Amino acid sequence: MGVSVIIAGPSLDSTVNVSGISSVIRTLIGSVDESDVRYTHFVVGSRDGEPKRFVWLFRQFVLPYRAFKEMRKCEADILHLNTPLNLPAMVRDFSILAVAKLTGRKVLLHLHGGRYLERSPGWSVRRLVRLLFTMADKVIVLSPNEKQLVTELYGLRDADYICNAIRVPCDDKADSDNEGSGLSCIFLGRIVESKGIAEIVETFRQVDDGISLKIFGAGDMQDYLLSSLSDVLGNRFYYGGVVAGKDKFEELKKADVLILPSRHGEGLPIVLLEAMACEVPIIASGIGSIPWAVRHDVDGLIIRPYSSSDLLAALRVVRDPDVRSRLRASAKERYKKYFSPDTQAKEFVAQYFALTSAS
């Protein structure tokens, strides 16, 4: 009958959460043969923009009981726990992990970036990270870069890496929104501090007239972003809210370049893989697994986090159509080689069977 896996992560409804982790879970569930693995999705985390009031606090309080009840109901063999190395997520997910271990389940801890992936935490947070790693039966990171980071920061030497993957309906590159020497830029994601929103605003205050920007997403810096860029760019700025499915890929394919100047917290962003598959050149910060996935001046341009000057300089480089053509061709080939959903599915199935056979 296969292995029963309860996979914990954000809502899979893109109107509720703009989340790369959700995309990873959707792709994995859709790629694995049900005769090998029976998945049950267990929702954790907040809705985008949800205030942390009584209802939210109550949900956190009953989370361990809900997890226990769901594990019994689906007769789970394994908890596949998707978590970023951020303090709120680690505290929340520790309770779920503890329930799984107390009830005899195996735990696969699947890391997705986070503030403490690259930044050395204080003593108490370091203890929590190491406790999570010790309690888990297997830790999975997203690239060789991240494996080296968790070894250096936390002494974890037996982590394995499995790349994120995404199935993308992109065949031919669409025509750009701009003609001639213009440059059509796009940002897709959460509009929050960690994504480098301040750097986007500062950069686009200085760009030439031929550069335009489309923003898709939602978050607590949305009002600041919209008011700042509407005044500066005028009709060269467009905000489209949250976009998903076919509409998202149509917008992506029309762009000349995707920008992701994140400050911290990234693992292997799904939007980068989507851009690579759709042959859209990338400008992104060199954090997490990004420099491994997007090689500088080969598949895209890597910039320093917190640097609006780097972002501005990179935009001037990719304004050259020959540069964009070279980057997009290489990125497409790298996507095909490393980020196949079928390869990812086989690797996770192998991990599940290894865990259950070790019982």
Going from the C-alpha of 210 to that of each of 96, 200, 255, 312, the distances in angstroms are: 51, 16, 14, 13
Domain 183-338 falls under CATH 2.40.10.10? no
Closest CA to 40 of 24, 29, 53: 29
Q: Which residue, chain included where needed, has tokens 């491994």?
A: 292
Q: What is the pLDDT of residue 146?
A: 95
- Where residue 173 falls (left for φ over 0; alpha for ψ -120 to 50; beta otherwise) is beta
The total of other beta-carbon atoms located within 10 Å of residue 213's CB is 23
Q: Are strands 282-285 and 257-260 parallel, antiparallel or unpaired?
A: parallel
What would the two tokens of residue 181 be? Answer: 């020497």
What would the two tokens of residue 121 be? Answer: 């935490």
Closest CA to 213 of 180, 247, 254, 246: 254
Going from the C-alpha of 177 to that of each of 38, 174, 253, the distances in angstroms are: 43, 9, 10
In this predicted model, which residue has the larger pLDDT, 156 or 19?
156
Calculate the average pLDDT of the chain: 91
Going by pLDDT thresholds of 50, 70 and 90, the confidence category of residue 167 is: confident
Contacts of 267 (CB under 8 A, 6+ apart): 20, 84, 111, 112, 113, 114, 117, 141, 142, 146, 164, 288, 289
Q: Over range 29-45, report the average pLDDT.
A: 93
Burial of 174 (0-12, 13-18, 19+ CB in 10 A): middle
On the question of pLDDT at 302 being above 70, the answer is yes
Q: Which residue, chain included where needed, has tokens 């049900």?
A: 34
- pLDDT tens digits for range 174-212: 555 555 558 999 999 999 999 999 999 999 999 988 999
On the question of pLDDT at 309 being above 70, the answer is yes
Q: Over range 1-11, report the average pLDDT.
A: 91
3-state SS, residue 3: strand
149-156's contacts with Cβ under 8 Å and 24+ in sequence apart are 149/117, 149/118, 150/111, 150/117, 153/116, 153/118, 153/120, 154/126, 154/129, 154/130, 155/130
- pLDDT tens digits for range 42-51: 999 766 666 6
Going from the C-alpha of 80 to that of each of 156, 336, 355, the distances in angstroms are: 19, 26, 11
On the question of pLDDT at 108 being above 80, the answer is yes
- 207 residue type, one letter: V
Instruction: Work out the percent of the chain whose per-residue pLDDT is above 70.
Output: 92
Going by pLDDT thresholds of 50, 70 and 90, the confidence category of residue 17 is: low
Q: Give the total residue count for the chain.
A: 359
Going by pLDDT thresholds of 50, 70 and 90, the confidence category of residue 60 is: confident
DSSP β-bridge partners for residue 7: 41, 80
Closest CA to 20 of 64, 63, 84: 84
Q: What is the pLDDT of residue 172?
A: 58
* Range in 173-182, 250-259, 287-296 the model is least confident about: 173-182
DSSP β-bridge partners for residue 29: none
Q: Over range 139-151, report the average pLDDT.
A: 95
The total of other beta-carbon atoms located within 10 Å of residue 62's CB is 10
Superfamily of domain 3-165+340-357: Glycogen Phosphorylase B; (3.40.50.2000)
Going from the C-alpha of 295 to that of each of 284, 302, 321, the distances in angstroms are: 10, 8, 19
Q: Over range 283-293, report the average pLDDT.
A: 95
In this predicted model, which residue has the larger pLDDT, 345 or 172?
345
Q: What is the pLDDT of residue 104?
A: 94
Q: What is the pLDDT of residue 151?
A: 95
Q: Count, in order, helices (H) and strands (E) of the chain.
A: 13, 12
Q: What is the pLDDT of residue 175?
A: 56
Q: Which residues in the chain are classed under CATH 3.40.50.2000?
A: 3-165+340-357, 183-338
